[in-house]
Amino acid sequence: MSYLNAQYRGRFGRAPLRVHLDPQDHDSYDGLWRRAHALGGAAQSEVRLRVGDVSRWHVLRVNPVRNERGEIAEWVASATDIHDRLVAERLAQRNEQRYRGVLEGMPQIVWLTDAHGTPTYFNRRWAEYVGPERAIQGFLQLVHPNDRAEYQARWAAAVEAQQPFEAEHRLLGADGRYRTFVTRGSLVLDAAGHVIEWVGTTTDVDDPVFAETAARLLASVTEKLSAVPGSRHRLRALRYREALDLLTERFAESAAVWTVPEEPLAVSRAMPGWSQGPLQEVSTAQVRLALDTGEAQVLADHALLHEAGVSEALLLPLLARDGTRFGVLGMTFRQPLQDRDHELATDLAQRFAAAMETTRCATMHWTLSATWNCSTSPWKTGCSAVPGNWKPPPANWRRSATACHTTCVRRCGTSWALPTCCERIWVAT
């Protein structure tokens, strides 16, 4: 060495730099000089140098100095202490790796955006749920179309106001189904209070939301059907349609009720074409089959269904407690049904069946004088007297001979008996 500046002498004395090298960095130091000589130009390397009793990271740079003939006359070398910066960077890198490791291990979808709300990271749960091909499309594009505008408006407002974000929405999965999620986002601020990024989670809440929605739907449908009047056909059809509209708002794409295969008694406002077009062609035969067999009919992946914009139709017989078939409840769906969907559909069919059974009993007309005078017709010989603890229907009931009265008589053989419809009316005092 021909020259050492004051900073070098103050830190390393007059000993050659190699003396101060950490033993583990001798190869890096020698490699630095080999590259410089091979290139005939500048080179640099990061090495540890002993300063007192500790090793500190430095970046070594060497540059050639050439004479007037272009030959290398000497080399200028510098050593810059980068220890504090390098340690801080590596610590930050380890913290980032640890941070990402935590995010990758979380059961929810976890995401990061920059300060302006542009996504910068999704954990592996994102690609697992939406599928690798959809994962590159972006979050908003996979939100259900009916939820997208509200989600986008809420997110934009949260970013602008720098306030925490929360929204419930449906998200498309790799299997082509939408499930309900709750997405929450929080701000990450620097020491000065400026937004560095957003960190958020998207949590699957589909099962509890479905259970709550199903319970509310059953309650609403039951309430609507309980208001079905007994004898006014047009009002009954209106109440049934209102109940069907509840189904299409919260469960199915369209719905209808039949008492005969040829024509629905009531149809939902959504997709009302059950009595015409492709749905009629599909439904008539399936309704007749459900009425004849008393078993549910499922139609999936049918060309006529696709023409109507749905993928599956479910037709459920409406059965009384004694097995009497009142009609059929039909529903269409945009996505294939799961077990929980079948369970809810069955519960809904039971509500409609109960309403029809109640309506049938309520509309039966009785001849009170003939019914309650067992000494006269129409009671058959051998029938016991009507029990004294049974009370007659209200006085405002119409008093004319009816099918239910005839049924009661026919069911009376050697002992007095009433069928199901009569039991629901004649109650013990």
Q: Does domain 6-86 have CATH number 3.30.450.20?
A: yes
* Fold annotation for 106-204: Beta-Lactamase (3.30.450)
* For residue 263, pLDDT beyond 80: yes
Longest dimension (CA), the chain: 143
Cα(first)–Cα(last) distance of the chain, in Å? Answer: 120
- Report in angstroms the alpha-carbon separations of 207 from 147, 158, 181, 285, 346: 18, 27, 10, 34, 18
What would the mean pLDDT of 61-86 be, rounded to a whole number? 90
Three-class secondary structure of residue 122 per DSSP: strand
Domains 106-204 and 209-362 share a fold: yes
Model confidence at 394, pLDDT cuts 50, 70, 90, reads very low
Of residues 360 and 396, more confidence is placed in 360
Of residues 269 and 345, more confidence is placed in 345
Please return the burial class of 377, using the count of CB atoms within 10 Å of its CB with bins 0-12, 13-18 and 19+: exposed
Model confidence at 113, pLDDT cuts 50, 70, 90, reads very high
* For residue 277, pLDDT beyond 80: no
What would the mean pLDDT of 307-334 be, rounded to a whole number? 89
pTM of this prediction? Answer: 0.59
Task: Classify domain 209-362 by CATH number.
Answer: 3.30.450.40
Of residues 414 and 340, more confidence is placed in 340
Segments making up each domain of the chain, as ranges = 6-86, 106-204, 209-362, 365-429
Please return the burial class of 82, using the count of CB atoms within 10 Å of its CB with bins 0-12, 13-18 and 19+: middle
- A 10 A CB-CB count for 395 gives 7
* For residue 76, pLDDT beyond 80: yes
The whole-number pLDDT of residue 367 equals: 33
- Contact (Cβ atoms closer than 8 angstroms) between residue 248 and residue 267: no
Q: Which of 36, 9, 30, 8 is nearest to 18 (CA)?
A: 30
- Distance in angstroms (rounded) separating the CA atoms of residues 304 and 289: 18
Q: Which of 384, 383, 397, 399 is nearest to 425 (CA)?
A: 397
The predicted-structure confidence for 92-104, as pLDDT tens digits, reads as follows 777 777 777 778 8
